[in-house]
Structure 1
Amino acid sequence: MAKLTKKQKEAHAKLDSSKSYGLAAASALVKDITNVKFDASVDLAIRLGVDPRKANQMVRGVVTLPHGTGKDVKVLALVTPDKEAEALEAGADYVGLDEYLQKIKGGWTDVDVIITMPSVMGKLGPLGRILGPRGLMPNPKTGTVTMDVAKAVQDVKAGKIDFKVDKTGIIHAAIGKVSFDAKKIEENANELIQTIIKLKPTTAKGTYVKSVFMSSTMSPSIEVEVKAV
């Protein structure tokens, strides 16, 4: 096992791994135990009591974090010419259609979110093998396939994120940066957790939210106290 560095030892010393912390305390602690020289992301890992293999227990959705993610999200708007000005004005970083479809076909995926229109989705189908594994395929359920392109771009830029339970029953999501004050981290985390709670499948039995862990890039994980749901 690799030896812990001095900073890692200091971080672990501040964390009692045998206990769980309230959301406010965890949000303050994650700042205290982060020692990297860059503005690290703060992440939540939420384990759910669902079976993702069953369609009626798949948990996915969108949430607009009240304080944004702290990340400069790069948005590609794949739209027809009549929507290009609207997308640019809303803040899209890349706007166009056929030229970007060709770039993606060649392997270019240097964006965080792709927003498009219903009429364009047919052209994106053949690119599913490239976009799907990277989580970039637009989806009406997440608001990234819409005629209101401007609103979709603005929402994403303002901190709207989509989440989906993975095959092990866990939702991973970035909810801010360690440079945020603790209250903003707490409020962003609470918004995500409450949104997920509202999406509880009627077919899910037993405890729904089994555990919540908060961490930052390269920090130890903090167990967040959750009530049985």
Structure 2
Amino acid sequence: MPKRGKKYQDSVKEYNKAEVYDVEQAMDIVVKTSKAKFDETIELHARLGVDGRHADQQVRGAIVLPHGVGKTKKVLVFAKGPKATEAEEAGADFVGAEEMAQKIQSEGWFDFDVVIATPDMMSVVGRLGKVLGPKGLMPNPKSGTVTMDVAKAIEEVKAGKVEYRLDKANIIHTPIGKTSFGADKLADNFNAIMGAIIKAKPASAKGQYLKSVVVTSTMGPGVKINPMKLG
């Protein structure tokens, strides 16, 4: 275990790390224990009682958080013709086709946070699966990032849309805002995304769906939330 810094140690003393809290208490604690000099990101980590190796137990989707995530995301859109123009007018940071794929492949360029593509461009984007996939950047119809309505997709991303999906350990990791939001806005965002995750429960999932739910700040300790009170 790496040695933790003094600020982390002080934060841990301010609450009972072994206890589970309700949402409002947890947000209050995570804000108070966020001691870094920068505006820390608050993240949700939810372990689910599913097996993501099975296609019918995948949990994935996207939601626009009520208060955004405190960061304006850079958007890359793969589109041609009128759809490329539409993307530029809607505020996409980068728009292109084969030349963008080439830039990613040959230069290792990743100066963007979200990739949106029109369906006809997926043959080009598909070749980037090995580099975009591991970074969670591959466009997907379920998350609304493969679409003909590129303007709407860009607008949602800029408004604070977040994607959620299982990792290999069946845990969802997603930002829910910044320390500066305060406990109330963080609770709003948390409740919105947890509602979406609960709604996305696969029909084939058996037993307890929410195994554990933890919120953390970038540099701070985790605060456990009682999953039994979340639905």
Task: Compute the TM-score of the two structures, normalised by the length of structure 1.
Answer: 0.95
Change (3 A) 1:203 1:68: same
Tell me the equivalent position of 2:124. 123
Alignment partners' CA distance in 1, 2:150 and 2:202:
30
Deviations for 1:158-206, whole angstroms, at most 9, x for unmatched residues?
Answer: 1111111112111111110111121110010111111111111111111
Tell me the equivalent position of 1:170. 171
What is the letter of the counterpart of residue 68 of structure 1?
G
Alignment partners' CA distance in 1, 2:206 and 2:173:
21
Tell me the equivalent position of 2:138. 137
Deviations for 1:66-88, whole angstroms, at most 9, x for unmatched residues?
Answer: 10011120100111032223212
Alignment partners' CA distance in 1, 2:149 and 2:5:
50
Tell me the equivalent position of 1:35. 35
- Structure 1: gaps (5+ residues): none
- Structure 2: gaps (5+ residues): none
Report how far residue 3 of structure 1 moved.
4.4
Tell me the equivalent position of 1:65. 65
| Residue aligned with 2:46, SS | strand
Q: CA RMSD in A?
A: 1.4
Alignment partners' CA distance in 1, 2:65 and 2:37:
25
What is the letter of the counterpart of residue 143 of structure 1?
G
Does structure 1 retain, via aligned residues, the 8 Å contact 2:97–2:124? no
Tell me the equivalent position of 1:189. 190
What number of residue pairs does the alignment pair up? 229
Change (3 A) 1:121 1:5: closer
What is the letter of the counterpart of residue 97 of structure 1?
A
What is the letter of the counterpart of residue 166 of structure 2?
V
Tell me the equivalent position of 2:114. 113
Task: Compute the TM-score of the two structures, normalised by the length of structure 2.
Answer: 0.95
What is the letter of the counterpart of residue 155 of structure 1?
E
Matched, 1:78 2:78: yes
Alignment partners' CA distance in 1, 2:64 and 2:2:
39
Spell out structure 1 runs of 4+ moving beyond 6 A: none
Deviations for 1:126-150, whole angstroms, at most 9, x for unmatched residues?
Answer: 2211111111111111111111110
Tell me the equivalent position of 2:16. 16
| Residue aligned with 2:173, SS | strand
